Structure 1
Amino acid sequence: MLRNALRPATRFIRSALGTNGMAAQVAMLDAKVDAVFHKLAANGADGPAPSDVTMEQVQSVPSAAPHIDINLILHHSRSALMRDMPAGARRILSAGCAGLWYFEWIEQTYGHVQEHLGIEYYASKPDGLPANVTWIANTAGNMEDVADQSCDLLISGQNIEHLWPCEVADFLAEAARVLCPGGTLSVDSPNRAMTEPLRWSQPEHTIELTVPEMRQLLELAGFEITKEAGIWLCQDPKTGAMLPYDPNFAGCNWTVTERLFSARDKPEQSFLWWIESRRLARTPDRQAISALLTEIFDKAWPERTQRLVVAPGRWTEYRNGEEWVLVSPGEPGIVFFGPYMPLRAGRHRVTFEFIPHNETTGAFARFDVAVGADATVVQQKDVLPGSNQVALEVDVPTLTFGCQFRCISLGRGGFAVRLQVGLTESLW
């Protein structure tokens, strides 16, 4: 039976649950599980088509309670901080502004400015731009069409987490170059101190920086911190307990208002941090910036590759400090998926470890690598008893987003699979 003894014992769900209201939480979760696994049941004993289940499906099934849009909450909170920024900038530069809506948003929240430069390399220039907007097809790391010390305010909103280490270093150097002395750099981004325990992923993010890391980088780049703020509290500051990212989960005893109000002066415990800094006369220390970014990335990238999501209804247990997912015979379907991450061009080796039950015969599991919003399978293999590991070699011709490493039960035998993959990257 596909939903045999389904229980909310998954890592993904546990990361979102609080400690109270569990009865209501389980009832709501059952509805989510039924909806997510509806397609899987139709696929029969051989398991689902590789692209049937995504993280968006798991997260987007509505609950019985009135739905609260977390994206709207975050956007409105960023709008409030934008309104609160120091006024008076005559020339604004925005790094990453893929649409007309962005310039209308700045006009509405910050106010009208004499000139607004928009840096955007990966999207086409939109029609109908206001007369005060200049669209520049540069990257954040090479703003060559912007003159030295020509801008009063540089806004990098939800952008730095899309950059690779060398691009972050280039962006900080460019920010120091194009800002007038005393000019303001405003940066906001998800906080890895929260996204890591929440196992939250965005398909185009490299790594998210923490507040202390961003502080260090800005200081090395010749900036002085003038303001720090948090958006959407995700950790109880007294107990250290994680709070759910999704405001619609019933097991949290914090209200939305409490979490928004309390987050303002707690950026290190918030899902998003917002940092404003002033350009000083100090020259950026490029060598120190690059060294720090290498250190940060070497620590954070291995964790980024492991934000795997256990499908609802699967048991997990720890063996010698490692988490394994347990699959009983006759339970076809997704076992785990994710981490929804970018992979750079190159040859990549993805390794899975598993232990089949003694009585298992025939192919019992399928492992694959899928990419993109439609989860296109680029490599897969069905495994038989007699081995405990499978490796998939994947050639990625260009930077690719939304990569997943997935385990699927074929329902023909039981097994345990380690909730961790090995990833070896050979970049081109």
Structure 2
Amino acid sequence: MTPYALRRLQLASQLDSDSVAIIVGNIEQVRNLNISYPFHQDNDFYYLTGFNEPDCVCVIRPGHDTPYVMFARDNDSYQEVQFGARAGLKGLEQNHSVDKAIDISEFEGTIISLFEKRHKLYISDNHGRFHNQLGHWLTARQPDHAFDSVKVYRSIHQLSPMIAQMRVIKDEHELSLIKQAAEASINGHIAVMKACAPDINERVLSATFNRTISDYGCDSVGYGNIVASGNNGICLHYEDNNQLCKDGDMVLTDLGGEYQHYTADISRTFPVNGKFSDAQAALYQIVLNALDASISLVKPGAKWNTLFEANQRVLAQGLLDLGILSGDIEDILANEAQREFTVHKTGHWMGLHVHDVGSYQLPSSDEWTVLEPNMVFTIEPGVYIPADCDKVDEKWRGIAIRIEDDILVTEDGFINLTERAPRTIAEIEACMAESHS
């Protein structure tokens, strides 16, 4: 049984025979005229089907004789010559474990009949494609509905929260894809470090990453590349990538390759000229220490919030030691004074989406999520001191540092999936020296 079939069974086990689950896939988006953007399937849809064609809807009916129905495009020789092959309805039934495939053009006229006498409709329609039809689905009768037959009053429920919590715990198939994405991204970051030199354009480094990950099977990135030199790194999601990297500045790179829909997410920061200045090294070491403090706590049973608290204490103490902050460490933490320079939280779930779905706190509770084996997430502390921050010594200004690793929770601890990407000062300087020797 495929991983996708197992996930459908897992989802169905959380429903009952009075339920229908409807999962809507993505449609193509037009870039201009007759050119579309590269297609990317809805993550919930792909998670349950593994099917990557546009304009599809999946219907799951627990306990039914035909529990797995797919609405999709049928074969069309003209369209396939123009835009590529399709699985077609027969192909879906023969090769994709679909119990019944129906042309998507028949969706609106057919979907209500699939509800039969079931009362509960569970919907995952993340882009609202059919939101204007929900009222009709609730009240519509089947064509043969006699006036003296048993009435069916339907209710609508959100399916996404169930799928989201399933997606937090990765199966072995997912882990193998994430590991490949991480391996590709590690090599991409190494290539970027080796390519960096004064007066190179950020876009060249971005392209270097894309070229390298393609050698490892990645045909895309999980999010827009961030190659931010100097003060550009102060912008957390800088994507212009069009400035020259100046001698004496740092480069903050946040880059993750996507392998078969699963992404990595790695951040590294390094000097343009391959050698840390004293000020850069001092700040960098604080961020690395904070990252390692959080990683060291990862194990089953640990609470999510403890990772953030650990790195914030290290960052605050480090900034205090350097004179960037002043006062008592406990007062600094109580007032979150360090947040002026540390800005963001610890990290996020990772998988089909770079900021993957799933709760960080227990439902209907103030309690933080407890870590379990096969969770995958990032930890990414940072320090950001704008060039115009005149409250600190000039030597600290215009320095932005973020270091981010991808962490897998194991039965007895963790695996840092991305630690092979140079992360210590010595490793980074040695890596960059190779390209200049």
Normalised TM-score (structure 1): 0.27
Give 1 or 2: higher strand fraction. 1
How does the TM-score come out when normalised to structure 2?
0.26
User: Bigger relative contact order, structure 1 or 2, given CA contacts below 8 A and separation 6+?
Assistant: 1
- Structure (1/2) with the larger helix percentage: 2
Larger Rg: 2
